[in-house]
Structure 1
């Protein structure tokens, strides 16, 4: 069987880094794309392509993909993980901030998917995984822009699955709760966010990046070709689909 290749966005730290490491451990060749260098991730993966680019910039995305293909030659899996989640009252959200959230969380997956699609089609096999959020179900009042962007990502996942099924490409989303990452610790975690979310969960502990790894590996597995258009809610029972 051909060695599969995966591209993970937001791979410098946190959930993206754990996804990249897990895929490498499963035998994938892995490239990571982030706005910053990914030295720590590269140190954990033997055969790793580090791509520094802005996921909201179509030209930079195209250039990064070309660099990856120069080394790997093909692509089979895309994990749209990069995202931002500012927390503020709705009336304090400026149009500029709203557009930034939409660009990173919704437009970037569109740009990445559009760029990689010819290579997934050429391979005749593909998996696209979008990292959504349980916030779509719990609707936190201070994360209106974020929740709207992730709801859009779920709609994108469903419609794209219908479009790409005939090509042997599945499209699914994973919806975590609040995951303990460096960014979350620095932002929402500093104001008691983890404690608030834990109180809403059936599983009374903070979600770690490792809690999402097995779900990702299941979604991209060779045997998961009949799973598409779905959102897997991996959020400790904070909400139920």
Structure 2
């Protein structure tokens, strides 16, 4: 894939930035890009013509094979401020800017509340809440310099449901929803939107290890209006919508994509 100029500011068309995004190449950073939703998101954004940096501690060669030359892997821990700063700067240096941030990295440990040690709690908060904070903070100067940006935080539908074995996880994702709203207010004047997507239980390798073996997918499916197990591809259209050139008036929102198990 050959490099072509990308637009450093919003195209004509007011705050919405136009309607299609055709011909506009952006640079996107996707955390947790080694597999699951992160891989799906990286592939989908690349298919729109964007250049992609994947940030993960795991091997991202599988994602790179699917995306091709538009993909650049960056190994970093989202909870380490120095590693995050270096990863974001490497992305901007590699591609000449940064426009889209997808905070997808997270951990999903089912723990009964009374079995949750303080270190368990802190680790979940570090990855699921501190990580998006550090990545967004590092990315913000680059988005402001571009005069256009999309920050997308991957929350969870559990914030609307409150399952008893996911107290720490639910709390971290509820915090991410609050972070989304407040950050949207803080950066809107710079042409940057901040939104969250709240998936239901989705068939990824991580979810299969933690909840799939005992029929968790089927139990959740039976609580949904749409009686199907969610696949990573079911989240793609929502991601592309909130990242699109025409979505400049959508900010501070949490979009629930869970087959109708929680309606709000």
Per-residue CA distance 1:136-162 (angstroms, 9 max, x = gap): 011110000000000000000001111
Instruction: Find out whether 1:37 has 2:55 as its counterpart.
Output: no
1:61 counterpart (84, 98, 101): 84
Residue matched to 2:153: 130
Give structure 2 stretches of 5+ with no counterpart: 1-5, 8-24
How many Å separate the matches in 1 of 2:110 and 2:219? 14
Does the 8 A contact of 1:37 with 1:51 survive in 2? Answer: no
How many Å separate the matches in 2 of 1:112 and 1:171? 13
Per-residue CA distance 1:68-125 (angstroms, 9 max, x = gap): 2221020000000000010021000000000000000001000000000000000000
How many Å separate the matches in 2 of 1:115 and 1:50? 17
Does the 8 A contact of 2:88 with 2:135 survive in 1? Answer: no
How many Å separate the matches in 1 of 2:194 and 2:93? 25
Give runs of aligned pairs for residues 15-164 of structure 1, distance below 5 A: 15-46=37-68, 47-164=70-187
Over aligned residue pairs, what C-alpha RMSD do you find?
0.8
TM-score of the aligned structures, taking structure 2 as reference length? 0.90
Residue matched to 1:4: 26
Higher relative helix content: 1
Does the 8 A contact of 1:77 with 1:128 survive in 2? Answer: yes
Q: What is the DSSP-based 3-state SS (H/G/I as helix, E as strand, rest coil) of the residue aligned with 1:149?
A: helix
Q: What is the DSSP-based 3-state SS (H/G/I as helix, E as strand, rest coil) of the residue aligned with 1:87?
A: coil
Does the 8 A contact of 2:198 with 2:255 survive in 1? Answer: yes
How many Å separate the matches in 1 of 2:91 and 2:246? 26
Runs of 4+ with >2 A deviation: none
Q: What is the DSSP-based 3-state SS (H/G/I as helix, E as strand, rest coil) of the residue aligned with 1:6?
A: strand
TM-score of the aligned structures, taking structure 1 as reference length? 0.98
2:243 counterpart (213, 220, 232): 220
Q: Which moved more, 1:65-74 or 1:213-222?
A: 65-74
